[in-house]
């Protein structure tokens, strides 16, 4: 069975998600994703929105009619301003989508 990008969970993880496992943690080694063919480094647990923000990218799409720039706005999954395509799966929220090694992100 194939699951979509945003539904994957680590093996053995069954309970509710929480951030307690990162208290006092050090980042694991980074890995590469590409954004419109540009290689960017991500760390485990980092969202694609955070990867873009850390790389200095503040907008990655435009509104349909006025062509106004959009990127992270709410950062919590409410506004849908941060939509991206990951590995061909469209309309994912960058602020809610965890980067995974080799992800191919397209914007626009
Ligand atoms: S920044 Fe608002 S949904 Fe992602």
Query: What's the rounded Cα separation, in Å, for the pair 101 and 24?
Result: 23
pLDDT of residue 108: 85
CATH number of 31-106: 3.10.20.440
Regarding the beta carbon of 75 and ligand 1, being less than 6 Å apart is answered yes
Give 83's contacts (C-beta < 8 A, 6+ positions apart).
Answer: 61, 70, 90, 91, 92, 93, 94
At 86-104, the pLDDT tens digits run 999 999 999 999 999 999 9
What is the predicted pLDDT for the residue at 53? 97
Q: Which residues in the chain come in under a pLDDT of 50?
A: 1-3, 6
Ligand 1 neighbour 102 (Cβ under 6 A): no
Q: What's the whole-model pTM score?
A: 0.77
Q: Could you tell me if the CB of 72 is within 6 A of ligand 1?
A: yes
pLDDT of residue 73: 97
């Amino acid at each position: 069975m194939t699951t979509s990008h945003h539904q994957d969970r680590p093996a053995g993880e069954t309970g509710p998600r929480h951030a307690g496992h990162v208290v006092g943690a050090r980042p694991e080694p980074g890995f590469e994703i590409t954004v419109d063919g540009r290689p960017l480094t991500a760390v485990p647990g980092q969202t694609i929105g955070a990867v873009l923000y850390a790389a200095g990218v503040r907008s990655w799409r435009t509104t349909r009619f006025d062509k106004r720039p959009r990127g992270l706005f709410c950062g919590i999954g409410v506004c849908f301003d941060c939509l991206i395509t990951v590995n061909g799966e469209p309309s994912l929220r960058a602020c809610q989508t965890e980067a995974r090694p080799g992800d191919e992100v397209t914007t626009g």
